[in-house]
Amino acid sequence: MENTADLRIVEEPKRPLAMNPKKFGMWLLLVTVMMMFMSVTSAYIVRQAEGNWLYFELPVSFYISSVIIVVSSIFMQMAYGSAKQNELGKVKKLISFTAILGLAFLVVQFIGWRQLVQANVYLVGNPSGSFLYIITGLHALHLLSAIIFLLIMLAAAFKDKISSGNMTKMEMCTTYWHFLGGLWLYLFVFLLLYR
């Protein structure tokens, strides 16, 4: 007969899921931003169904800005890949190109707002115009914050603080940039379908 005192069940301690606190904070920010835009687009649909809605064509510049944001995401992904390979010269160039394209996106958006004004679509007046300016303006503000993040990463690259062993901030910047690019494409398609 075996001695039950000698039988012990040994369980390996479960390892908790671990995430860098900065990355976790960034993901919380992205979820919050996504919820905000989902709320605004939902309110857009509800308000449109109530009537008194001005229908108009989106400015051509919004199509151009969509292409710009996609190309900028390609450059950002290339910068991330170069950082993983410790190619700082490429990282500096690619982050610079991404930031320039981000600024170009904002300029083209501004041109789009001017085209809307020329088409008699204003921030104040019909709710359709108000929603359009609010949606695109909020996105532009978030993109401006991402450009600032890019400039911080560019400064880090010039100080040799980006390497394959130190990728946390580069990953966060890349994720944020891709998120805003994807968010713009969602908003653009949404506005095409519900204008």
Per residue of the chain (195 residues), give pLDDT as tens.
555 555 566 666 666 667 788 999 999 999 999 999 999 999 999 999 998 898 889 999 999 999 999 999 999 999 999 999 999 999 999 999 999 999 999 999 999 999 999 999 999 889 999 999 999 999 999 999 999 999 999 999 999 999 999 899 999 999 999 999 999 999 999 999 987
Q: Give the model's pLDDT for residue 13.
A: 64
Q: Indicate whether 13 belongs to any domain.
A: no
175 three-state secondary structure: helix
Amino acid at 137: G
* 8 Å CB contact between 154 and 99: yes
| pLDDT score recorded for residue 7 | 58
Residue 17 lies inside a defined structural domain of this protein:
no
Residue 85 counted as domain residue: yes
pLDDT of residue 195: 77
Range of the domain at 74: 57-193
Type of residue at 70? V
Q: Identify whether 40 is part of a domain.
A: no
Quick check: is 148 in a domain? yes
- CA triple 58-59-63, angle to 5 deg: 90
Q: Is the pTM of this model over 0.75?
A: yes
Predicted pLDDT at 17:
63
d(CA 138, CA 160): 33
Calculate the alpha carbon distances from 184 to 112, 133, 172, 179 in Å: 14, 14, 18, 9
pLDDT at site 179: 98
Specify the number of domains making up the chain.
Answer: 1
> Which CATH number covers residue 68?
1.20.120.80
Within a domain: residue 132?
A: yes
Q: Is residue 43 part of a domain?
A: no
Residue 27 lies inside a defined structural domain of this protein: no
CA 179 to chain centre: 3
